[in-house]
Amino acid sequence: MILFSLSMVMLTASAYFLSRKLYSRLPHPLLVPIVTSTAAIILVLLLLNIPYSSYMAGGKLIDIWLGPAVVALAFPLYRYRSTLFAYFAPVIAGILIGTVVGIVSGVYLSLLFRVDLELILSLAPKSVTTPVAMSISEGIGGIPPLAAVYVMCAGISGAMFGPPLLKVLRIRDSVAAGIGLGAASHGIGTAKALELGELEGAASSISMSLSALFAALLCPIIISIIL
């Protein structure tokens, strides 16, 4: 069992390492490492008929480092604290607007396509980190596991299309770019922001944290108004 768990760790690490190599040679939005490595792992599990629960026996060895990785985001945040404090009002306003737009856009698009109510309530908190999104979804009557899936979709799509969209919109300010990625794509967006630069990562880190707080406060209110 220990050897199998270690092999799953090696599978995950190898998939991500090769995906980064591929992305460094072909930097296309569809080839961001989190997408290609996830797809590769799923393909291997399907081909070898390995259940997800068995894979997670090793995956948990990586999962335990998620907490320390999030805490490590405080380092660039501390380093650029004076810059972020200088933009205090725009930062707070940007995060608040981003949070509201993330909730409202998801709900109204779902209504437009006549999505079931339970799915709408699961989709609403899609742009915040998974534990918070699951708690919000449960509190407003959604399905927490489904909310986690939507969170992953928002994070991956933000990492894929966020930077190209910033270029198209000619958003060159590091703080603005970080705030946008953090508010729209939480932890995965923050990881992508760190690739762009430390200041982007610091801004995204605070955006990810505050957007979770704002969403927890505002999501039930917005849902009650719209629905």
Q: Render pLDDT for 16-63 as a digit per residue (tens, 0 to 9).
A: 999 999 998 988 888 889 889 999 999 999 999 999 888 888 777 777
Show which of 36, 64, 92 is a domain's final residue.
64
Q: Please tell me whether residues 191 and 121 are part of one structural domain.
A: yes
Q: Does some domain include residue 185?
A: yes
Q: Please tell me whether residues 78 and 133 are part of one structural domain.
A: yes
Q: Does some domain include residue 206?
A: yes
Q: Does some domain include residue 154?
A: yes
Q: How confident is the prediction for the chain on average, in pLDDT?
A: 89
| Burial profile 129-145: b = 16 or more Cβ within 10 angstroms, e = fewer | bbebbbbbbeebebbbe
Q: Please tell me whether residues 41 and 121 are part of one structural domain.
A: no
Please state the pTM of the whole predicted model: 0.85
Q: Please tell me whether residues 93 and 43 are part of one structural domain.
A: no
Q: Please tell me whether residues 46 and 136 are part of one structural domain.
A: no
Cα–Cα distance between 156 and 142 in angstroms, integer? 22
Q: Both tokens of residue 151?
A: 């969170």
pLDDT confidence tier of residue 72, bands split at 50, 70 and 90: confident
Q: Please tell me whether residues 127 and 176 are part of one structural domain.
A: yes
Q: Does some domain include residue 87?
A: yes
Show which of 64, 86, 110 is a domain's final residue.
64
Q: Please tell me whether residues 51 and 124 are part of one structural domain.
A: no
Output the CA–CA distances (angstroms, integers) from residue 173 to 76, 158, 163, 196, in the order listed.
17, 18, 12, 11
Domain that holds residue 35: 2-64
Q: Does some domain include residue 59?
A: yes
Q: Please tell me whether residues 42 and 104 are part of one structural domain.
A: no
Q: Please tell me whether residues 88 and 60 are part of one structural domain.
A: no
Q: Please tell me whether residues 79 and 130 are part of one structural domain.
A: yes
**Digit-coded pLDDT (tens) for 112-129:** 999 899 999 999 999 898
Q: Does some domain include residue 69?
A: no
**Is residue 74 a contact partner of residue 193, using CB atoms and an 8 Å limit?**
no
Q: Please tell me whether residues 81 and 20 are part of one structural domain.
A: no
| Tally of structural domains, the chain | 2
Show which of 64, 84, 113 is a domain's final residue.
64
pLDDT at residue 140 tops 80: yes
Picking from 119, 189, 201, 194, the residue whose alpha carbon sits closest to that of residue 152 is: 189
Q: Both tokens of residue 112?
A: 């437009």
Q: Please tell me whether residues 41 and 146 are part of one structural domain.
A: no
Q: What is the DSSP string of 98-125?
A: HHHHHHHHHHHHHHHTT--HHHHHHHTT
